[in-house]
Amino acid sequence: MVVTQVLPTRLGPVEVAHLPGPKPPVLFFPGGHCPAAGDCGWSLYTDAGHALVAFSRPGYGRTDVGRLNAGEFVPAVGDCCDLLGVEETAAVVGVSFGGLQAIEVAVQLPQLAPRLVLHSCAPSTYSYPDTRRETLAGPVVFGPTLQGLTWRGVSRLVATEAGLRRMVGALSRRPVGEWWHTWSEDDKRRSRDLFLTMDSGSGFAHDLWQGRPDRSGHRRLLQTQVPCPTLVTASPWDGGVGFIHAQDLAATIPDATLVELGSPSHLFWVGPERTQAQAAVAGFLPSG
């Protein structure tokens, strides 16, 4: 796990992971349950030589700015970039629930967002969660009161290969027996490390609030205002986020390209299909 730091902003302390690299940085917004320290796909960029500024969004990690929505959090993102001396970037990147924050930054801080990348993101114009069961259970199981107990149980579960297989399999629309054998020991380590860093704090309940149906109009308007070229990647086999969100994002963001991945699970950066995501990113970002 990487070392993070807490930066003072006008809205309160914000936790970031700042990793150096020879190429311009990406501003990275992790998905649900993921503070800045957990690799939920940012290694695609650091492995390619990009510097990284990953954020713990409101409610996650050591970020303490209150219950701000994605739009309200943008000034703190700008303050962090000023404090770190980040004046230009290669892209703003969002994963899963982090996509909404990435879109807000692209719209409000276009000088820091020459490109936007959205990996397996939701919500879109469509609300999220995708199922009634997730809508009812998510705020309870991963709410502030029970989430600590939930993640302690997950940590014990993924300590064994059978438990890890069960957890990852729940994030796929394909039977896990069809593809688990394709994962290397390093792939399993990556996914286990991710689960061990997960913590919902109060952030996941807040994410669910921002994904509700009555905010659909705001999200659609925001998507139409994205001013920069945008790469959208997603897999129809993703058991965490429906492919319909990627289709909607690509259809409503003015200059967007959708790349369909073959990843069998929500963890698009793990497994042999990682090369597909790497190729999509490499073809989209500048080579220098």
Q: 34 in helix, strand or coil?
A: coil
How would you classify the pairing of strands 12-19 and 256-260? unpaired
Give one DSSP letter per residue of 174-239, joined into a string.
S-GGGTGGG--HHHHHHHHHHHHH---TTHHHHHHHHTSGGGHHHHHHHHHT--S-EEEEE-TTBS
Six-digit token pair at 155?
């940590």
pLDDT at 91: 98
Q: Measure the CA–CA gap between 270 and 183, rounded to whole angstroms.
A: 8
Q: Measure the CA–CA gap between 74 and 9, rounded to whole angstroms.
A: 11
* pLDDT above 70: residue 203: yes
3-state helix, strand, coil in the chain (%, to 5): 45, 15, 40
Mean per-residue pLDDT, 195-224: 95
Mean per-residue pLDDT, 222-238: 98
Six-digit token pair at 118?
């959205």
Q: 18 in helix, strand or coil?
A: strand
Q: Measure the CA–CA gap between 144 and 69, rounded to whole angstroms.
A: 17
Q: How many domains does the chain have?
A: 1
pLDDT at 1: 67
What is the domain extent for residue 61?
A: 5-284
pTM: 0.96
Q: Measure the CA–CA gap between 240 and 234, rounded to whole angstroms.
A: 11
* pLDDT above 80: residue 136: no
- Give per-residue pLDDT as tens, 19-36: 999 999 999 999 999 999
- Give per-residue pLDDT as tens, 1-18: 689 999 999 999 999 999
Tokens 């020991």 identify what position?
Answer: 185
- Give per-residue pLDDT as tens, 102-128: 999 999 999 999 999 999 999 999 999
- Give per-residue pLDDT as tens, 257-268: 999 999 999 999
- Give per-residue pLDDT as tens, 162-185: 999 999 999 999 999 999 999 999
Within 10 Å of residue 8's Cβ, how many Cβ atoms? 12
**Sign, Cα dihedral of 109, 247, 176, 186:** negative
Q: Measure the CA–CA gap between 106 and 222, rounded to whole angstroms.
A: 10
CATH number where 111 lies: 3.40.50.1820
